[in-house]
């Protein structure tokens, strides 16, 4: 049998992979360590009973957009909701990217920016962060002047390094670029700065897009729900490329119910941040190089212990602890990333790391 040819540009690409292994402590995918509050499940099930299963969902996701708009003090017309922030990113790339257009990233950063942009047939230009994984203003300026990007991706806090982007970097990108500037705040609740505040400015940019997710602090990775806040004119453009009725009724209910538990979410952010600081200090005492993080994970390097990152990752796995192996990524030689879990999981990780380094 003859196989139909795959697109030429896809043949050289690889899919996005993160190991899913059976272990006692899984700290490799930046998930929330706790399930949603007990009252969430009760309220969610009550609402789901009202679903008209034979009817299509609200195509405009209006009620959820209203609730998110109230949360962020913007207009519902500024909110677009999709199946995880990755579908939001895909929609943005389909809207502003395409053949002959360029997406700009600052490496190392979240791999899906380049992956999704290439799927949307963008060319991808990469500029490099400095040794502290920050974006120097001169590097940002030169990259925009040379590449003239139609899309610029800024991850704040950056994955996998945990470093937030500065207000100066974001405002400079908005000022210099003629394309869309995407600030991905998947971990924004852990940071001391959010680009969402820029929408309240009198001269708010028409090109700013801020993406968020329910997967992290809302404890809803299994639901796959994300959104962005942007200038109102963008919503109609997004509607042109997204599939009709793309967000099912159950997802919309889950998002609306979750927003009732804002106080619990903020309490969990504090808990996780405190644990992050405890784990970071303990890791530094073990002799590994640790980068300051404003996310729910920590990037660390093992080379100072004369052990390759790959070897430490394997030794942790042998002790049934799974972290993210970043040691083969450009600019992250011997680096691993650990998600902050429960207090017990973190203590087990620290003990396993101490053994792995010996």
- Kindly report, residue by residue over 89-116, the tens digit of the pLDDT: 999 999 999 999 999 999 999 999 999 9
Q: In degrees rounded to 5, what are phi and psi of residue 196?
A: -60, -30
Shared-domain flag, residues 235 and 287:
no
Same domain, 20 and 126: no
Do 218 and 333 reside in the same domain of the chain? no
**CA 234 – CA 231 distance, rounded (Å):** 6
Average pLDDT, the chain: 95
* Tens-place pLDDT, residues 281-319: 999 999 999 999 999 999 999 977 788 999 999 999 999
Whether residue 95 is found in the same domain as residue 209: yes
pLDDT of residue 237 exceeding 90, the answer is yes
Whether 3 maps to a domain, the answer reads no
Sign of the torsion formed by the C-alpha atoms of 19, 328, 113 and 242: negative
- Regarding whether 346 and 216 lie in a shared domain, the answer is no
Domain boundary among 260, 295, 321: 260
Q: Which of 240, 260, 280 is the last residue of a domain?
A: 260
Q: Is the pLDDT of residue 16 over 90?
A: no
Question: Is the pLDDT confidence value at 328 over 90?
Answer: no
Is position 1 within any domain? no
Total structural domains in the chain? 2
CATH number at residue 63: 3.40.640.10
What's the CA gap between 180 and 211, in Å, rounded? Answer: 13
Secondary structure (H, E, C), 307-357: CCHHHHHHHHHHCCEEEEECCCCCCCCCEEEEECCCHHHHHHHHHHHHHHC
In a domain, 348, yes or no: yes
At 6 the pLDDT is 84
Structure tokens at 142: 């030169």
Per-residue pLDDT band for 17 (boundaries 50, 70, 90) equals low
Compute the average pLDDT of residues 122-148. 97
Same domain, 183 and 112: yes
- The span from the CA of 260 to the CA of 40, in Å, is 8
89 plus 214 within the same structural domain: yes
User: How many whole angstroms from its chain centre is CA 8?
Assistant: 29
Q: What is the domain-level CATH number for residue 305?
A: 3.90.1150.10
What average pLDDT does range 243-266 have in this prediction? 96
Q: What is the mean pLDDT of residues 156-178?
A: 96
Provide the whole-model pTM.
0.95
Residue 346 lies in a domain: yes
Q: Give the percent of the chain with pLDDT over 70.
A: 99
Does 319 fall in a domain?
yes
- Please say whether the beta carbons of 257 and 47 come within 8 A: yes
Q: Which domain holds residue 47?
A: 39-260
């Amino acid at each position: 049998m003859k196989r139909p040819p795959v697109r030429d540009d896809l043949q050289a690409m690889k899919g996005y992979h993160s190991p899913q292994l059976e272990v006692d402590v899984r700290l490799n995918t930046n998930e929330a360590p706790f399930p949603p509050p007990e009252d969430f499940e009760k309220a969610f099930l009550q609402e789901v009973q009202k679903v008209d299963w034979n009817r299509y969902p609200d195509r405009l996701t209006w009620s959820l957009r209203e609730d998110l708009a109230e949360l962020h003090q913007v207009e519902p017309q500024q909110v677009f909701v999709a199946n995880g922030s990755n579908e939001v990113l895909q929609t943005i790339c389909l809207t502003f990217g395409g053949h002959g257009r360029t997406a700009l990233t600052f490496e190392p950063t979240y791999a899906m920016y380049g992956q999704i942009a290439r799927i949307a047939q963008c060319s991808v230009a990469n500029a490099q962060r400095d040794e502290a994984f920050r974006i120097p203003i001169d590097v940002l300026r030169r990259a925009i002047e040379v590449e003239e990007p139609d899309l610029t991706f800024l991850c704040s806090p950056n994955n996998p390094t945990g470093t937030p982007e500065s207000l100066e970097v974001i405002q400079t990108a908005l000022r210099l670029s003629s394309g869309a500037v995407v600030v991905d705040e998947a971990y924004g609740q852990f940071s001391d700065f959010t680009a969402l505040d820029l929408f309240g400015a009198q001269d708010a940019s028409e090109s700013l897009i801020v993406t968020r997710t329910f997967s992290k602090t809302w404890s809803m990775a299994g639901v796959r729900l994300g959104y962005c806040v942007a200038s109102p004119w963008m919503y109609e453009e997004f509607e042109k490329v997204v599939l009709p009725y793309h967000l099912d009724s159950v997802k919309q209910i889950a998002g609306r119910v979750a927003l009732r538990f804002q106080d619990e979410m903020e309490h969990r952010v504090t808990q996780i941040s405190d644990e992050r600081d405890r784990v970071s200090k303990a890791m530094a005492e073990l002799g590994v190089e640790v980068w300051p993080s404003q996310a729910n994970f920590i990037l660390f390097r093992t080379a100072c212990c004369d052990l390759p990152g790959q070897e430490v990752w394997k030794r942790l796995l042998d002790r049934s602890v799974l972290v993210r192996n970043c040691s083969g990524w450009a600019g992250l030689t011997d680096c691993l990333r650990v998600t902050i879990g429960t207090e017990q999981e973190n203590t087990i990780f620290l003990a396993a790391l101490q053994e792995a380094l010996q």
